[in-house]
Structure 1
Amino acid sequence: MPVPGGCGHGTEGGRPHVVGLRAVLLVPVLLLRLMLLTAGVLEVEMAGRTQMVLLNENATILCKIPGFPHLDINSMGITWFRKAQVSETEIKLFEFFGDHKVAFRHGANVSPWRLKRGDASLQLPGVQLWEAGEYRCELVVTPQKAQGRVWLEVVAHPVSSLFLEQAMVKDNEDKHILCKSSGFYPEDISITWKRWTQKDPQFQEISEDIITGPTIKNEDGTFNITSYLRLKPSLEDNVTIYQCVVWHVSSLMCQSFNFTPILIESEKKTDSWIVWLCIGLIFTVLILVILFLYFFLWKRKSRTIH
């Protein structure tokens, strides 16, 4: 006898077959997802949009492969390109495919040992200014392919010094302190002056009596610059400290140099005073000796005559 609601039971009776079919279909899907998660999607990580390196230093341009801690370098390839600042043409710098390894730039290299561990960074010895530009890392791990770009900026630290003008000047004439920076790149640089006295416990910026010359380009492409601070005689103070502050993009912090020219001048005057005192004493002693000999000989001659 048909049971009321038998269609429902019949449907429920057929459900295990449907569930079983779905379970069978889900197995390869799950296996495929597991394989994708295990293999990972090939991509490269660079050092941001811009990477800064120092002139004449050995540089490592970063290009890493996350998610691939162990790579078979026999089934992969890496190629590095450079595009100059004023050109749209890419130049091949280095390529590696299995047993094929060529450096088109002298000294360019990618370490095979690091490459096995997912590091395809390019090593460049003695980087020069003209090597700035866009670098592209192209990676192939069969059957996937990925690439990354980074702008390489080559900079040079300024070498700075602070000293008193060596020209001979009189006491009532103005003197100059020179702050010179040389060998820096790029051209933009900032030089400011500050002064410290006992009346003010903090350095105060100087805005007058400053002459900063133009930047002068060297043969190697770096630049030099000199800034002058005029010292007025009325401002001279034995405890005044002058400071030159240099800022350049190649340095994380400003460079500051202190100088106290008045103390040195006082020492020079003290040394001169001692020298003249010694000369005066010697001259006085000579006069006394001459007078003594003169009177001694004169008295002796007078006695002889009598």
Structure 2
Amino acid sequence: MHTVRIFLLAAVLSGGSADSSRKLSVLVGTDVTVSCLFDALNQLVEWSALTVEWNMVDKHAQKNMVYTFEDGKAHVSRDNSVVDRNGLLRSNASLLLRNVTVADEGLYTCRVITPVVHIESTSLEVLARPSVLLPEKAAVIEGEEKTILCDITGFYPEKLAVTWYIQNESHIVQAGSSPLSHVCTEMAVNNPDSTFNIRSSITLHSSAVKSGGIKIICQVDHSTYISPYSKSVTLTLQGKFT
């Protein structure tokens, strides 16, 4: 059997190791590459002399092994995680994570032994953008109240703010500031995939609605938005049935 060798070009670090840390953000369902570029020996090295270890400490402080490369063989603990074997020839032990989930959030540490030890850490933040559902149109019967629901689903992290506004032509006021409107936002509910759902509602009395109708705005503020995201519904006045 022929011995497979790697020709490593970079110079040996004087201290024998490198330590760096960075932060990376990624959306749920996408792929991400966690970087690990090491300084290699300037001599021929056998596969058996190269060890790569990737571990992750999650938000519960639990340490998990993700990927190891040892004695020329890869051992994958997290499905759909890859270190490019050819990349190792270029001193690149970066980790590719496919189809990221909330469970992948944590501190990733790459440890490469050539036999020089290289350690590199990256904090991976996982984000899931909310889906906001609001009816386009609604009507309130004269003399009665109408409740409109803003359904916000599949977001992460949990921190999220909902604000309601009432727009009458060009005049906009925050809802809930008068007895004619009432806002209720429930506690966030955790989904099986660790994302969250939340429901917020506004109840208005018909006397708050002008004859031409008003616009009700549900504004959502979340870390996945550069600026708050808004959806609106037109609320019209409907006469009583005879």
TM bin (shorter chain) = 0.7 to 0.9
The equivalent position to 1:162 in structure 2, one of 124, 127, 134, is: 134
More helix by share: 1
The equivalent position to 1:174 in structure 2, one of 145, 167, 172, is: 145
C-alpha separation in 2, matches of 1:164 and 1:130: 35
Check conservation: 1:165, 1:178, Cα contact below 8 A. no
Kindly state the Cα deviation for residue 159 of structure 1 after the two structures are TM-superposed. Answer: 0.8
Check conservation: 2:140, 2:206, Cα contact below 8 A. no
Kindly state the Cα deviation for residue 252 of structure 1 after the two structures are TM-superposed. Answer: 3.4
C-alpha separation in 2, matches of 1:86 and 1:137: 20
Partner of 1:91: 64
Is residue 165 of structure 2 the alignment partner of residue 194 of structure 1? Answer: yes
Is residue 186 of structure 2 the alignment partner of residue 217 of structure 1? Answer: no
Partner of 1:119: 92
C-alpha separation in 1, matches of 2:222 and 2:19: 32
Check conservation: 1:164, 1:176, Cα contact below 8 A. no
Partner of 2:175: 206
The equivalent position to 1:254 in structure 2, one of 220, 228, 233, is: 228
Kindly state the Cα deviation for residue 137 of structure 1 after the two structures are TM-superposed. Answer: 0.7
TM-score normalised by L of structure 2: 0.75
> Mind listing any 5+ residue stretches in structure 1 that lack a counterpart?
1-37, 270-306
Map 1:28-39 onto structure 2 (within 5 A): 39=11
C-alpha separation in 2, matches of 1:218 and 1:199: 39
The equivalent position to 1:82 in structure 2, one of 42, 50, 56, is: 56
C-alpha separation in 2, matches of 1:182 and 1:131: 20
Quote the sequence identity (%).
Answer: 25
Kindly state the Cα deviation for residue 108 of structure 1 after the two structures are TM-superposed. Answer: 1.7
Instruction: State the superposition RMSD in angstroms.
Output: 3.4
C-alpha separation in 2, matches of 1:100 and 1:140: 15
Check conservation: 1:165, 1:176, Cα contact below 8 A. no
More strand by share: 2
Which residue identity lines up with residue 127 of structure 1 in the other structure?
A: V
Partner of 1:285: none
Which residue identity lines up with residue 220 of structure 1 in the other structure?
A: D
Secondary structure of 2:123's match?
A: strand
Map 1:253-292 onto structure 2 (within 5 A): 253-262=227-236
Partner of 1:132: 105
Please tell me whether Structure 1 or Structure 2 has the larger radius of gyration of its CA atoms.
1
Partner of 2:120: 148
Secondary structure of 1:109's match?
A: strand
Partner of 2:199: 226
C-alpha separation in 2, matches of 1:171 and 1:117: 73
CA offsets per residue over residues 23-63 of structure 1, 9 Å max, x none?
A: xxxxxxxxxxxxxxx726363655x2x32333343332232
Check conservation: 2:141, 2:206, Cα contact below 8 A. no
> Mind listing any 5+ residue stretches in structure 2 that lack a counterpart?
1-9
Check conservation: 1:45, 1:66, Cα contact below 8 A. no
C-alpha separation in 2, matches of 1:62 and 1:40: 20
Map 1:2-13 onto structure 2 (within 5 A): none
C-alpha separation in 1, matches of 2:121 and 2:189: 33
Q: Which moved more, 1:112-121 or 1:145-154?
A: 112-121
Kindly state the Cα deviation for residue 164 of structure 1 after the two structures are TM-superposed. Answer: 7.0
TM-score normalised by L of structure 1: 0.61
Is residue 65 of structure 2 the alignment partner of residue 103 of structure 1? Answer: no
C-alpha separation in 1, matches of 2:217 and 2:233: 6
Relative CO higher for 1 or 2, CA cutoff 8 Å, sep ≥ 6? 2
Check conservation: 1:163, 1:259, Cα contact below 8 A. yes
C-alpha separation in 1, matches of 2:170 and 2:100: 49
Secondary structure of 1:39's match?
A: coil
CA offsets per residue over residues 114-161 of structure 1, 9 Å max, x none?
A: 33334322112233333322211112234x211122222333221111
Check conservation: 1:164, 1:177, Cα contact below 8 A. no
How many residues are matched?
222
